[in-house]
Amino acid sequence: MRLTIFSKLVIGYIVIFMITIVMIVYINMQFNRLGKITNSIVSVHNRITNQNKKMIEMLLTLVNYEKKYVIMKDKDIYDLFLGTRNDFEKTLREMATIAGGEEFRKPLELISRSYQSYLDIFEKEAEFLKKGSRYPHDLYAGEKEKAVADIITGLRELRNQNENSIYEKLVRLEKSDINARKVVLLVTVLSVACCIILSIIITRSITRPLAVMRKKTKEIAGGHYRGGDMRISSSSEIDELVQDFNMMCHKLRETDKIKTDFFAFMSHELRTPVTSIREGTNLLLDGIGGEASEKQKRILKIIAAESNRLIDLINSIMDLSKMEAGKMQYHFVESDIAPLLQRAIIEIEPLAKSKNIRTELHIEENVPHIRMDIDKLLQALRNLLGNAVKYSPEGGLVRVFARSNNSHLEVAVSDEGPGIPRENLGSVFDKFRSTHKGTGLGLAIVKSIIRSHGGKVWAENNSGQGSTFIFLLPA
């Protein structure tokens, strides 16, 4: 039978209270035999202990960023790794300065040697990841784990050596009080350690599952329902909460699948009759069945235009359904994006001229070639340019920029429209974010296409007016 959270807290507080009482009573009994600890113990060994704990925390953070980068290949995570690495190396240098004695030489050498080995292995692996090359992942993971284990071993040896040094200095204190001092120190250390460890165990058993569930909740809020298989061993209340959470995720996945299947089915079933309506309207406009009056022709043109708009909407829904289901086929080739940008601008020119909107294309020199599906990327560019023209006022300006950004190609589409409310910048690419000028599918399709190319896309408001949509693609 698992304890409840309340029971864990009560037992933990009682144990900590009892340990504290025993420690206080015993220290008071031995207080008259204690002397002053030399300043060297406080100024040197205490700093070594703090630096040791700090290095362990930094090492765990470093390993966490490294593992995330290997999985996600995100440059921002790599930058966090580099920042943590610099902090760790700085702390290691400070440790070497503080622990300058001969007794700390071996553990410091082990830490330095193992840490350098870990960096060398990860840098080799990072090169493979940047190039997209295959490599023996399990071999590299094993070597990194061994290097990290050696670093932790060195830190433990350093900590143990530090404690031994403290003990030796205490032994050299006044001979008459040496036994009492040693016992008091031991009781103090063990009591504090027990309190800290017990507090950490109780707190961790409560906060760890809640942190996992909080992370999964954020993923669900973003439309990702993969959190339905959580397995967390904790108190009975949290176990029940996890089971309910998993059930909720399964239901959301089922609901989302039903919705996607419904849209795909309805789109497929609607396209044939709507196409027939459009073709029949065109035949009537061509005079088949008799000459139509001017009023009838205007009505038929409206029907034809609305039929075309409905077919475009159905096609967009079908494309988005295929993308979400992972059934959209891509044919990647390495090519220059400049002709594609020019083609997209030419295609949007009639709509732009109808609103007296100017378009400009700025392509920097040495723009890298990228692997892309030409048709799909053209579709994304059409949607971005179409949005820019729709939201720009009469006589406005739409600009397209292409430039090199580190090892990526950056493309930006800027307009002079009303801009995007700050609270909507993060959700503007969500599907069915309908506006008074669109269905809310175009930007969702753009996001799916760019992600399928290994890139990312986001929106920003311009300093003056309007907004800019930017996407990065790996070169």
In one-letter notation, the amino acid at residue 210 is L
Task: Specify burial of residue 144 (Cβ count, 10 A radius: 0-12, 13-18, 19+).
Answer: buried
Half-sphere exposure of 189 (CA within 13 A, CB side): 11
Angstrom distance (rounded) from CA 281 to CA 304: 6
Whether 27 shows a pLDDT value over 60: the answer reads yes
Angstrom distance (rounded) from CA 153 to CA 106: 11
Q: At CA 345, angle to CA 342 and CA 350, rounded to 5?
A: 140
The helix-helix angle for 236-285 and 178-221 (nearest 10°) equals 20
The mean pLDDT of 173-187, rounded to a whole number, is 63
Whether 217 shows a pLDDT value over 90: the answer reads no
Do 222 and 427 touch, CB atoms closer than 8 A? Answer: no
Whether 285 shows a pLDDT value over 80: the answer reads no
Angstrom distance (rounded) from CA 41 to CA 187: 18
Do 410 and 472 touch, CB atoms closer than 8 A? Answer: yes
Model confidence at 419, in pLDDT bands (50, 70, 90)?
A: confident
> What is the reported pLDDT for 102?
78
User: Rounded to 5 degrees, what are φ and ψ at 426?
Assistant: -80, -15
> Maximum CA pair distance of the chain?
123
Angstrom distance (rounded) from CA 138 to CA 146: 12
Ramachandran category for residue 4: left, alpha or beta (phi over 0 → left; psi -120 to 50 → alpha): beta
The mean pLDDT of 42-62, rounded to a whole number, is 83
The mean pLDDT of 338-365, rounded to a whole number, is 91
User: Rounded to 5 degrees, what are φ and ψ at 208?
Assistant: -60, -50
User: Rounded to 5 degrees, what are φ and ψ at 252?
Assistant: -65, -40
The reported pTM is 0.43
| Closest to 151 in 3D by CA, of 111, 178, 189, 186 | 111
Task: Specify burial of residue 127 (Cβ count, 10 A radius: 0-12, 13-18, 19+).
Answer: exposed
Angstrom distance (rounded) from CA 34 to CA 25: 14
Higher-scoring residue by pLDDT: 311, 138: 138
Q: How many CB atoms lie within 10 A of CB 329?
A: 7
Model confidence at 30, in pLDDT bands (50, 70, 90)?
A: low
